[in-house]
Chain A
Amino acid sequence: MSLKSLDPRVTRLELPENPTEPTPKPELDQLITYEVFHQKKENAAYTYVGPVHAANEEVAFLFGKEQYSRRYACTGMWVTETKNVMVTPYTDEAVSVYDVIRIQPENVTENVGKTAENYEIFHLKKRGKAHQHMGTVSATSYEDALAEAKSQFGDKKPCVNVWVIKAADMFRSEEEDKDIWSTTKEKEYREATAYRVLDKITKYKEENPVA
Chain B
Amino acid sequence: MNTEALKDLLYKIADDQLILGHRNSEWTGFGPMLEEDIAFSSMAQDKLGHSLAFYKILHELGEAEPDTVAFTRNANQFHNCQLVELPIGEYDFSLIRHFLFDNAEILRFDMLTRSSYEPIAKVATKLKGEVKYHVLHANTMIKQLGSSTDEAIERLQNSLNEALPYALGIFEKSKFDNELIAEGIFEGEEKLQTQWLENIKKVLSQTHLELPDLNTITPKFGGRYGEHTEHLQPLLDEMAEVFSIDPTAEW
Binding site for B on A (CB under 8 A): 8-9, 52, 54-56, 58-59, 61-63, 65-67, 70, 177-182, 184, 186-187, 190
- Whole-angstrom distance between the alpha carbons of A55 and B144 in the complex? 8
Question: Interface majority SS on B: helix, strand, loop or mixed?
Answer: helix
Q: With a CB–CB cut-off of 8 A, which chain B residues contact A65?
A: 133
Q: Which 3 A-B pairs have the closest CB atoms?
A: A179-B129, A63-B35, A180-B133
Find out whether the CB atom of A67 lies under 8 angstroms from the CB atom of B127. Answer: no
In the complex, besides A180-B129, A186-B49, 10 extra interface pairs with C-beta distance below 8 angstroms are A54-B35, A58-B144, A61-B140, A62-B140, A63-B39, A67-B35, A67-B38, A179-B132, A182-B129, A184-B49
Q: With a CB–CB cut-off of 8 A, which chain B residues contact A180?
A: 129-130, 132-133, 136
> Among residues 126 to 163 in chain B, which have CB atoms less than 8 Å away from a CB atom of chain A?
126-130, 132-133, 136-137, 140-141, 143-144, 148
Most chain B CB within a 10 A radius of its CB, from A61, A65, A180 = A180
Within the complex, the shortest CB–CB distance from B24 to chain A, in Å, comes to 12
Which residue of chain B lies nearest to A179 when distances are taken between CB atoms in the complex? B129
Which residue of chain A lies nearest to B148 when distances are taken between CB atoms in the complex? A55
- Whole-angstrom distance between the alpha carbons of A62 and B143 in the complex? 13
Find out whether the CB atom of A52 lies under 8 angstroms from the CB atom of B129. Answer: no
Find out whether the CB atom of A58 lies under 8 angstroms from the CB atom of B133. Answer: no
B177 within 8 A of A: no
Find out whether the CB atom of A59 lies under 8 angstroms from the CB atom of B141. Answer: yes
Return 20 A-B CB contacts under 8 Å, by A number: A9-B26, A9-B30, A58-B144, A59-B140, A61-B140, A62-B35, A62-B39, A62-B137, A63-B35, A65-B133, A66-B38, A66-B39, A177-B132, A178-B129, A179-B128, A180-B132, A180-B133, A181-B129, A184-B49, A187-B49
Q: With a CB–CB cut-off of 8 A, which chain A residues contact B133?
A: 65, 180
Most chain A CB within a 10 A radius of its CB, from B49, B143, B238 = B49
Within the complex, the shortest CB–CB distance from B144 to chain A, in Å, comes to 6
B77 within 8 A of A: no
Contact with A along B19-41 (1 / 0, CB 8 A): 00000001000100001001100
Which residue of chain A lies nearest to B35 when distances are taken between CB atoms in the complex? A63
B233 within 8 A of A: no
- Whole-angstrom distance between the alpha carbons of A67 and B37 in the complex? 11
Most chain A CB within a 10 A radius of its CB, from B45, B127, B136, B148 = B136
- Whole-angstrom distance between the alpha carbons of A67 and B35 in the complex? 7
Q: With a CB–CB cut-off of 8 A, which chain A residues contact B30?
A: 9
Q: With a CB–CB cut-off of 8 A, which chain B residues contact A59?
A: 140-141, 144
Q: With a CB–CB cut-off of 8 A, which chain A residues contact B137?
A: 62
Q: With a CB–CB cut-off of 8 A, which chain A residues contact B132?
A: 177, 179-180
Q: With a CB–CB cut-off of 8 A, which chain A residues contact B38?
A: 66-67
B42 within 8 A of A: yes
Find out whether the CB atom of A58 lies under 8 angstroms from the CB atom of B130. Answer: no
Within the complex, the shortest CB–CB distance from B223 to chain A, in Å, comes to 23
Q: With a CB–CB cut-off of 8 A, which chain B residues contact A9?
A: 26, 30
- Whole-angstrom distance between the alpha carbons of A56 and B144 in the complex? 8
Q: With a CB–CB cut-off of 8 A, which chain A residues contact B26?
A: 9
Using A9-B26, A180-B136 as known contacts, say yes or no to A52 and B35 having CB atoms under 8 A apart.
yes
- Whole-angstrom distance between the alpha carbons of A59 and B32 in the complex? 14
